[in-house]
């Protein structure tokens, strides 16, 4: 299982153009997993509301972030399955996301 996970993450890093800097891929994997599981949260909304009171011109950035998180949750939420292979399922969904996002493959 470890080799499978490692090979998936190495491929993701290469697709993202940041190999061998795996920490960048792990950071994005963390963000992706949170988006799959939770989508746009109340805390995200709170941050957006706070930021927009100070910087109202940042609306498009926050709107894009919200739409992206919700899109990820809607498309890949089924990959989140509790159990022994949970991380592998999430990593495979992340690989699909990387292929779609960074190479245009569907």
Which pLDDT score, from 0 to 100, does residue 26 have?
Answer: 94
CA nearest neighbour of 28 among 38, 18, 39: 18
> Using CA atoms, how far apart are residues 50 and 34, in angstroms rounded to an integer?
21
On whether the CB atoms of residues 91 and 29 are closer than 8 A, the answer is yes
Which pLDDT score, from 0 to 100, does residue 25 have?
Answer: 93
Structure tokens at 53: 């009171």
Low-confidence residues of the chain, pLDDT below 70? 1-2, 106
Which pLDDT score, from 0 to 100, does residue 17 have?
Answer: 92
Residue with tokens 């800097």: 21
On whether the CB atoms of residues 15 and 104 are closer than 8 A, the answer is no
Which pLDDT score, from 0 to 100, does residue 82 have?
Answer: 86
Cis, peptide link before residue 20, omega less than 30° from 0: yes
pTM: 0.86
């Amino acid at each position: 299982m470890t080799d499978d996970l490692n090979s998936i993450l190495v491929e993701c890093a290469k697709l993202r153009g940041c190999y061998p800097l795996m920490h960048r891929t792990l950071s994005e994997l963390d963000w992706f997993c949170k988006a799959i599981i939770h989508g746009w949260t109340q805390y995200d909304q709170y941050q957006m509301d706070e930021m927009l009171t100070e910087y109202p011109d940042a609306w498009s950035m926050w709107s894009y972030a919200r739409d992206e998180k919700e899109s990820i949750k809607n498309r890949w939420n089924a990959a989140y399955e509790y159990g022994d292979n949970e991380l592998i399922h999430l990593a495979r969904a992340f690989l699909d996301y990387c292929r779609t996002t960074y190479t245009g493959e569907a």
